[in-house]
Amino acid sequence: MNLELTPEQESFRRAVCALLCEESVREEVARARRLPADQEPGLLEVYRRLAERGWLAINWPAEHGGLGSSVVEKAILTEQMIVHGIPDVVHTLSVDIVGLAIQRLGTEAQKRRWLPRIAAGEGAGCVLLTEPEIGSDLGGLSTRAEPDGDGWRLHGRKVYSLKSQFADLALCAARTTESEVRFHGITVFIVPMRAPGVRVEPLWSMSDERFNQVVLSGIRLTAEDVLGEVDDGWQVLHDLLGIERTGIEFEAKARRLLDAVLDETERTGSVEGSEYGELLVELDAEVWAGQLLAWHALGDMLDGDLDDVRCGMAKWHTTETAKRISELGPEICGLTALLSARDAEAAPGWLLESAFRDAPGLTLASGTSEVMLSLIASAGLGLLG
């Protein structure tokens, strides 16, 4: 596997870096990082600037707002946005997960309806999967799509949905048919989030990223809103979760966190003569290993083969590494690491305090570490018969 960028890809990486280093972008990022605790960034002006160049969804066809490039260019953009501290959750959800799922599985009408607005940085998507009581056990869904003429009425409650307060659309899993086979009879719908019958309520937590509860009270959907086939949503979810698990964004976050720790220890000299030097070398090796795993998984996607096991390995390793760095940051850097980015004494763009609060969620989202290990053991190693 060749991990070297082509000259064209390297030129694109430098061009993205130049844009994200512009003073106006850095000012926008600084403002976003210092928003009050009950606010958070949604769609950003830098998204629109990237979109003007066709970069925000660069791997989509031109008719949908991209440049028809590969997922490699898209991964380069994602890495650079995270490295430069651009709030990325809305972008990742909208383009890399929701948009890419519609791009791969949607009808031409669905693509024309939803993708250009996302690619222009003017619309956002979210995911509605998790429910109370069942967590991420999607075979136990209680959200129901009840028949209504030539369509359905959607009833249910979804929880722990990120950025749904900004979203125009959501990918929502609901049960359309009762079946003895628990994974049969599930359908994935594209839900317009601004329609009557959709209510978004905050679920406050320690994280800077607000979780939401989304209550679905009879919103009417038709066959035009179905992603994939009716009752075959499990296959759609399989593809959707695979898209989430390449690990690209997590390896980039791990690198940015470790660089912040290294910068602080260099500034203070706190590592000299301590036991942390060897640990930092070890963490650096783990970050590099995560990058290799993530790009290998991405290479499979580029070849049209989404390898579940490789994606599971990448997701497990990159999130565990980012979590470990987040938890060790305060130990290595001392009390400085506990300064909020909103604190006047914090370094510009300081992120370790926020990362420490976010750390537990890294290994829960998109499939827990335990689920990833089970997948690797069963499908990859054949250990669970």
Report residue 2's pLDDT band, with 50, 70 and 90 as the boundaries.
Answer: low
Looking at the structure of the chain, the number of domains it has is 3
**117 and 132 fall within a common domain:** no
State the pLDDT at residue 340.
85
Residue 1 has pLDDT above 70, yes or no: no
State the pLDDT at residue 308.
86
**189 and 222 fall within a common domain:** yes
Residue 243 has pLDDT above 80, yes or no: no
Give the Cα separation of 326 and 354 in Å (integer): 9
Give the Cα separation of 128 and 126 in Å (integer): 7
Residue 138 has pLDDT above 80, yes or no: no
Report residue 246's pLDDT band, with 50, 70 and 90 as the boundaries.
Answer: confident
The whole-number average pLDDT for the span 76-87 is 93
Report residue 136's pLDDT band, with 50, 70 and 90 as the boundaries.
Answer: low
Mind listing the pLDDT tens digit for each residue in 247-281? Answer: 899 999 999 999 999 988 888 777 776 778 889 99
CA-based diameter of the chain, in Å? 74
Is there a domain that residue 338 lies in?
yes
Is there a domain that residue 2 lies in?
no
User: Long-range contacts for 229-236 (Cβ within 8 Å, ≥24 apart)?
Assistant: 229/187, 230/176, 230/187, 231/176, 231/177, 231/184, 231/185, 231/186, 231/187, 232/187, 233/173, 233/176, 233/186, 233/187, 233/188, 234/138, 234/183, 234/184, 234/186, 236/101, 236/105, 236/188
Residues 6+ apart with CB under 8 A from 305: none
Q: Which of 101-105, 124-128, 159-163, 237-241 has the lowest mean pLDDT?
A: 237-241
The whole-number average pLDDT for the span 143-172 is 96
Q: Which of 1-5, 173-177, 333-337 has the lowest mean pLDDT?
A: 1-5
Task: Let me know if 214 is exposed, middle or buried by CB neighbors in 10 A (0-12, 13-18, 19+).
Answer: buried
* b/e sequence 350-384, b meaning 16+ C-beta within 10 Å: bbbbbbbbbbebbbbebbbbebbeebbeeeeeeee
Q: Are 210 and 277 in contact (CB under 8 A)?
A: no
State the pLDDT at residue 55.
97
Residue 194 has pLDDT above 90, yes or no: yes
**67 and 95 fall within a common domain:** yes
Q: What ranges make up the beta strands (E) of 84-138?
A: 125-128
**102 and 145 fall within a common domain:** no
| The residue count for the chain | 385
Three-state SS at 125:
strand
Going by C-alpha positions, the residue among 223, 230, 244 that lies closest to residue 99 is: 244
**102 and 34 fall within a common domain:** yes
**376 and 250 fall within a common domain:** yes
Is there a domain that residue 68 lies in?
yes
Three-state SS at 385:
coil
Q: What ranges make up the beta strands (E) of the chain?
A: 125-128, 144-148, 151-162, 169-175, 186-192, 198-203, 211-222, 226-227
CATH code, domain carrying 269 = 1.20.140.10
Last residue within a domain, chosen from 205, 237, 269:
237
Among all chains, which residue has been given the structure tokens 């290990």? 373
**146 and 79 fall within a common domain:** no
CATH code, domain carrying 63 = 1.10.540.10
Is there a domain that residue 65 lies in?
yes
**103 and 14 fall within a common domain:** yes
Going by C-alpha positions, the residue among 160, 101, 107, 96 that lies closest to residue 134 is: 160
Is there a domain that residue 341 lies in?
yes
Is there a domain that residue 385 lies in?
no
Mind listing the pLDDT tens digit for each residue in 303-332? Answer: 777 788 999 999 999 999 999 999 998 888
State the pLDDT at residue 273.
61
Last residue within a domain, chosen from 105, 123, 141:
123
**265 and 362 fall within a common domain:** yes
Is there a domain that residue 71 lies in?
yes
**226 and 256 fall within a common domain:** no
Q: Phi-psi category of 329—alpha, beta or left, where left has phi over 0 and alpha has psi -120 to 50?
A: alpha
DSSP letter at 381 equals T
Residues 6+ apart with CB under 8 A from 381: none
The whole-number average pLDDT for the span 3-7 is 85
**135 and 253 fall within a common domain:** no
pTM: 0.88
Question: Mean pLDDT score of the chain, rounded to an integer?
Answer: 90
Mind listing the pLDDT tens digit for each residue in 40-69? Answer: 899 999 999 999 999 999 999 999 999 999
* Domain hosting residue 365, numbered range: 245-380
State the pLDDT at residue 15.
98
**135 and 165 fall within a common domain:** yes
Last residue within a domain, chosen from 178, 209, 237:
237
Side chain identity at 13, as an amino acid letter?
R
Packing angle, helices 276-302 and 248-268, rounded to 10: 160
Is there a domain that residue 205 lies in?
yes
Residue 125 has pLDDT above 60, yes or no: yes
State the pLDDT at residue 206.
85
Task: Let me know if 204 is exposed, middle or buried by CB neighbors in 10 A (0-12, 13-18, 19+).
Answer: exposed
Side chain identity at 68, as an amino acid letter?
G
